[in-house]
Amino acid sequence: MRLPQELFAESLWLEWDNHYGIIHKEKLPHLLRQYNLKLKKEKTLDDMQLAFGRGLKDTFGNTAKQIEQIAKEIDKICIIANWEDAVAKYKI
């Protein structure tokens, strides 16, 4: 089972790829809710876009590495919004 940050990073990368390198700020709050994440205190959507850019750094077009680095950067600025929902998904 993958963490919400990893799923969000993959979704964010797909958004970026499908819209030719553009991530619309209007879609970020919806994506955060969809993947059960919220921004840490004093973080903004601009920080989210910067984290995405840092995730692409030094990946040389390697998609798997890009998504992995984006997930690490997202983990620094986002937290899980609702732990009960997150735990319920992992129980069998």
23 lies in some domain: yes
Long-range contacts of 49-54 (CB under 8 A, 24+ apart): 49/23, 49/25, 51/76, 51/77, 52/12, 52/16, 52/23
The answer to whether the CB of 15 falls within 8 A of the CB of 4 is no
Q: Residue 21: which domain range?
A: 4-87
pLDDT higher than 90, residue 88 = no
pTM strictly above 0.75? yes
Give me the chain's average pLDDT, please.
Answer: 90
Stated as kind and residue range, the H or E segment containing 33 is helix 28-34
pLDDT of 3: 85
Q: Provide the domain count of the chain.
A: 1
92 domain-assigned: no
In a domain, 62, yes or no: yes
Q: What is the per-residue pLDDT across 15-47, written as a single tens digit (0 to 9) for each?
A: 999 998 888 899 999 999 999 999 999 999 999
pLDDT in tens, 1-23: 788 899 999 999 999 999 988 88
**pLDDT of 91:** 64
Residue 71 belongs to a domain? yes
